[in-house]
Amino acid sequence: MSEQELSREQIARRQELEKKIFQLLSNRPGLRLQELVEILDAEEFLVRVKGGLQFKFKEYSNSLLEKEVKTGVKSILPTDVINVDKVIIPSRGGEILTGSGEELEEKKIIPRTRYLMEVLSDLGIEYSVETGKLDKNMFRSRGYQIFVIPEKKKLIFVNNEEGHATRIVHGFRDFDQNDKFGVIEKDIIDYLSDLNVDELDLDESIIVEKINYPGNEEEYKQKMKEAVLFVLTKKNTEMFDPKEKKKGKCGNMKN
């Protein structure tokens, strides 16, 4: 979409998007440009220049604007992106590299974070994101991101690397505690992000939905939409037997 084709409103909207992305970076000095770009799935707009990396804010904002014009859906960017000085969802014992790791096959990247952002934009739901660091001794080339969705009282753990299921924390099994989960206090996020995937799946105090990538974008986005809209009630909380969960049979919850 060329400058001449844009209306005054569209130019203003593009500038609004540019400003929002710039604010995400400037508000969080510890956040690396590369981390934000990975969340946005915008690597094509990141270029190497003398002295480092440069992000093409205008071109990326223009691509979002084109999508908005085509779909009629306004892109909702994170209200904040917070970088935490730790690994989110640490590896299990058997997932630590003991050698150089040079012969490991590179895994495919699936832009799950972008798909989730598009789902949340379609639903008109605001969210923030927490991103952590990578341990060089881990098998992963990408880290987990936590999408914090206060309106729906949910935390979503997402990794864009192939082979990592998305996990949605719907709330506490003890339903009476979920008033606390409504504001998603920092200590809850810290506790859950320190668990490995097995510990997260088997923690009997919470209800976790695990979504594997089904092989195509639309099916994944539909599953994520259903998960985001799932409403936890005392009745459906009681449907999930902790004993069944411990055996790994909880499965995907349906709306």
Residues 233 and 108 in one domain: yes
Number of domains the chain is built from: 2
Q: What percent of the chain has pLDDT over 70?
A: 82
Which among 52, 72, 92 is the end of a domain?
72
**Do residues 91 and 155 both lie within one domain?**
yes
Asked whether residue 61 falls in the same domain as residue 123, the answer is no
- Looking at the DSSP bridge assignments, the partners of residue 169 are 155, 208
Mean pLDDT by 10 residues, the chain (255 residues): 78 93 78 87 91 88 94 95 92 55 72 98 96 80 92 94 94 70 72 93 90 96 97 76 45 35
The neighbour count for residue 113, using CB atoms within 10 Å, is 23
DSSP for 46-76, written as a single string: EEEETTEEEE-HHHHHHHHHHHHHHH-----
Looking at 72, 99, 116, which one is the last position of a domain? 72
pTM of this prediction?
Answer: 0.86
pLDDT of residue 89: 94
CA dihedral 232, 238, 244, 245 (to 10 degrees): 30
pLDDT per position as a tens digit, 92-113? 764 544 444 455 567 899 999 9
pLDDT of residue 250: 36
Max distance between CA atoms of the chain, in angstroms, equals: 63
What pLDDT is stored for residue 100 in this prediction? Answer: 47
Verify that 230 and 193 share a domain, yes or no. Answer: yes
Residues 114 and 26 in one domain: no
In this predicted model, what pLDDT tens digit does every residue of 70-92 receive, in sequence order? 999 999 999 999 989 899 999 87
* Contact predicate 25/36, CB 8 Å: yes
Domain end point (choices 25, 54, 72): 72
Same domain membership, residue 247 and residue 180: yes
Q: pLDDT at position 184, please?
A: 62
Domain limits for position 161: 76-255
Q: How far apart are CA 62 and CA 74, in angstroms?
A: 13
Check whether residue 109 and residue 198 sit in a common domain.
yes
Quickly list H helices, the chain: 8-26, 33-40, 57-71, 112-123, 178-182, 186-193, 197-202, 217-229, 234-238, 242-246
Look at residue 239 in the predicted model and tell me its pLDDT: 63
Judgement on whether residues 44 and 92 belong to the same structural domain of the protein: no
Q: 183 and 208: one domain?
A: yes
User: Is residue 56 domain-shared with residue 100, that is, in the same domain?
Assistant: no
Residue 171 and residue 183: Cα distance in Å, rounded?
11
Is the domain of 159 the same as that of 237?
A: yes
Residue count (the chain)? 255
Res 2: pLDDT = 63
Q: What is the number of other CB atoms lying within 10 angstroms of the CB of residue 102?
A: 6
How many angstroms separate the CA atoms of 208 and 166, rounded?
10
Question: What pLDDT is stored for residue 183 in this prediction?
Answer: 52
Residues 224 and 175 in one domain: yes
